[in-house]
Amino acid sequence: MWLKIKVVVVMVSFLLSTGCVTTLSEIREKKPSRTLTSTKSPHELAKCIEQKIRAGKIGANCVVALEEHPNNTYRIAITQYRSNTVSDIFVKPTDSGSVVECRNNYLWAVDSQLELEAIDRCLK
């Protein structure tokens, strides 16, 4: 019994210390973990990324919200409740197309890789 309690305490401490409990506003204050470019318009690129994430393996386990902001900018917020992770994809215009900035608190490389694959399919 005591062993189970110790294991639970250790696991909760680990999760809290690794940044699992992070809000979207905190994620948006961080530097981007990836910055990518595309010749597509911000609107076209943001819609494509949203659709690819919803249709992919990540989309089945999360909530995806596309937010349109002034100046032709878009944010795609992804919340995965099972793994308690949050991701923010910011799409903004450039002279030659768009820039995509990715921020997240992913603990598992596979989540980050699946998200990047969805974005990569839209960049071309």
> In a structure prediction context, what are the per-residue pLDDT tens digits for the chain, which is 124 residues long?
555 444 444 444 444 444 455 788 898 899 998 999 999 999 999 999 999 988 876 666 788 999 999 999 999 998 887 777 888 999 999 999 999 999 988 765 556 777 888 899 999 8
Residue 86: its pLDDT value, please?
86
Residue 14: its pLDDT value, please?
46
CB-based burial, 31-55: b 16+ in 10 Å, e otherwise? eeeeebebebebeebbbbbbbbbbe
CATH number at 23-123: 3.30.310.80
Entry pTM: 0.76
Q: Where are the alpha helices (DSSP H) in 30-66?
A: 42-55
- Enumerate the domain spans of the chain: 23-123
Separation CA 34–CA 109 (nearest Å) = 14
